[in-house]
A and B are shown apart, each in its own frame.
Chain A
Amino acid sequence: MATNNFRPHLHVIPEDDRNRQIANGFAGSKSIAPRVVQILPPAGGWMKTVEKAKDSDMQRYAERRLHLLVDFDRKTDRIEYIKKNIPEEFIERVFILGTFSEPEELKATLGRKGLEEIGESLSEECPACSDRSLWEHALLRHNTEELERMIVSVRSFLFERSEDREHFPPRTGGGSL
């Protein structure tokens, strides 16, 4: 049985194959509840993630959240561009996060052996406020505002540990684009 479309769930649309691997690590992590995340095929470019988002039946399924996993290619206005192109009816359930440049650079600067490992670490830091050192990396900290918005929306079902689902203290500091 797939994710239940009438219960809260998260769909991830990765921009490309590299981001798909980050999503694998994120969804397969022990911190994430099983069967609530469905990773969709790579869109083939950040602009195509927007097109796919429009075709995601978001209006039909009110419990669906959508994560567009894109590269920002060092463009600070990309998130605004994407948001302007998502229909207002469901924009509050769409979250745009990704690497400020591209995943390979993140992998190289972190010295990790694979992108999956990065996705897994990101999921583990997600619900915690005390240690988000990876999310605060120079190539990821622009996500802070969007991450906070997403966690508020998904925390009730996304995390495996009940304490992460029930309690989420507000965060201090951070940054955005």
Chain B
Amino acid sequence: MIHRLYVNNFRCLENFDLPLKGMSSALLMGGNGSGKSTVLHVLEILQRIARGENRTGRLLQPEDFSYGRFDAPMRFEIEVFLQERLYLYTLALELPEKFKELRILEEALSVDGQAVYTRKEAEVSLFRRSPNSEDTARFLVDWHLAALPLIQASPDTESVRIFRTWLAHTVLLVPIPSLMTGESGGETLEPERDGSNFAEWFTGLLSRYPSSYTSVERSLRQVMPDIKDLLNRPVSDNVKSLAVRFREQNEDRARNAELTVRFKNLSDGEKCFFICAVILAANESYGPLFCFWDEPDSHLSLSEVGHFILSLRRAFGNSGQLLTTSHHPEAIRRFSDENTLLLFRRSHLEPTSVRRLDEISFDGDLVEALIRGDIPAYGD
């Protein structure tokens, strides 16, 4: 569970502290341009580092410094509670004069306040601890590369592996259903934000955790009761194609009508049901997962939104953590004051601030207050 995300000097986030401690699920709300997508972007940078894409030039650009302020470092800190221990990963970057690509100024991982490794520019210090001794390995890393994915797995670096795996498995979603074709040329546990490798993710989940099929089917049957089963058949040497078989719900057993629909031909909303089912199964199988879903209500019918959000919230109430954004009244109403975070900016020249909704006073219905613009700091 993320306790805290701190960002400084990155786009509209200056001295920005997102408090998530104790929230198994939370809603990030705010006007257009308030910084919600920038929070997602930060999480994506950290995720990509853990997934091995660690070249600073591929992750960040000079224009990402807030208001072109190159004289101060850009800083990211994420505090995560995993397996009863508190992990803190820090990354600070700078753009010295005449540099075209950002370089790493500082990087560190600590667990329960004890440094696992620290880094100053190119020099990394890896602290190896055993019951009887403590020594430090020092080595150099290109200052344009984050060290996190480069540290080799060993008994001394188990905490690096735990943190890195958790971060690589985070699910950051802004799904584009038309890109979800249901075809897979491999398998993964690392879904892309647009959902384009959904079938690979589903295949990877079933391949490594076959019992998760039961969970996926159970979730889907709640929203599509006429599902019979799912097929994932080879269509060529290396490609499989996902399809769904439906059967008529009829008490007259003499009729046995069935229909097979290729995954790509499902509706956008139905594809979102699949994403939800796979997230829940993944969280049970290899979680706890952190999931950021940007506007999960998109593509859903009005009567479905509340159930969908409550299902997600309920599932992440057991383990893992869910962070969503929404402008949809039904989605907003399925969160409460203590788990709704409001982002706001006074203008494009000022940074994003964050407040919990229970720290803001307003009268009457929340959604109506938002429409009226009555909530201080919303659309201000």
Chain A residues close to B by CB (< 8 Å)? 1-3, 16-17, 20-21, 24-25, 27-30, 34-35, 38-39, 41-42, 44, 113-117
Interface of chain B, main secondary structure = helix
Q: Please determine whether B336 and A1 come into contact, CB atoms closer than 8 angstroms.
A: no
Q: Please determine whether A24 and B364 come into contact, CB atoms closer than 8 angstroms.
A: no
Q: Which residues of chain A are within 8 angstroms of B317 by Cβ–Cβ distance?
A: 28, 30
Q: Please determine whether B304 and A115 come into contact, CB atoms closer than 8 angstroms.
A: no
Q: Please determine whether A24 and B367 come into contact, CB atoms closer than 8 angstroms.
A: no
Closest to A27 in B: B310
Report the bound CA distance from A16 to B301 in whole Å: 24
From A34, A35, A44, give the contact of B364 (CB < 8 A).
Answer: A44
Q: Is B303 an interface residue (CB 8 A)?
A: yes
- Determine which residue in A21, A38, A44, A116 has the highest number of CB atoms from chain B within 10 A of its CB, and name it: A21
Q: Kindly state the interface size class of chain B when it binds its partner.
A: 20 to 34
Q: Please determine whether B333 and A41 come into contact, CB atoms closer than 8 angstroms.
A: yes
B298-318 contacts to A, CB under 8 A, are: 301, 303-304, 306-307, 310-311, 313-314, 317-318
A105 to chain B, nearest CB (A): 16
> What are 17 of the A-B contact pairs (CB < 8 Å)?
A1-B223, A1-B224, A2-B304, A17-B365, A17-B366, A20-B366, A24-B333, A24-B334, A24-B336, A28-B314, A29-B314, A34-B310, A34-B314, A39-B333, A42-B365, A114-B339, A115-B337
Closest to A119 in B: B336
Q: Please determine whether B222 and A115 come into contact, CB atoms closer than 8 angstroms.
A: no
Q: Please determine whether A115 and B336 come into contact, CB atoms closer than 8 angstroms.
A: yes
Q: Which residues of chain B are within 8 angstroms of A17 by Cβ–Cβ distance?
A: 364-366
Report the bound CA distance from A113 to B307 in whole Å: 24
B253 to chain A, nearest CB (A): 21
B372 to chain A, nearest CB (A): 14
Q: Please determine whether B314 and A30 come into contact, CB atoms closer than 8 angstroms.
A: yes
Report the bound CA distance from A60 to B379 in whole Å: 42
B267-294 contacts to A, CB under 8 A, are: none
Q: Is B335 an interface residue (CB 8 A)?
A: yes
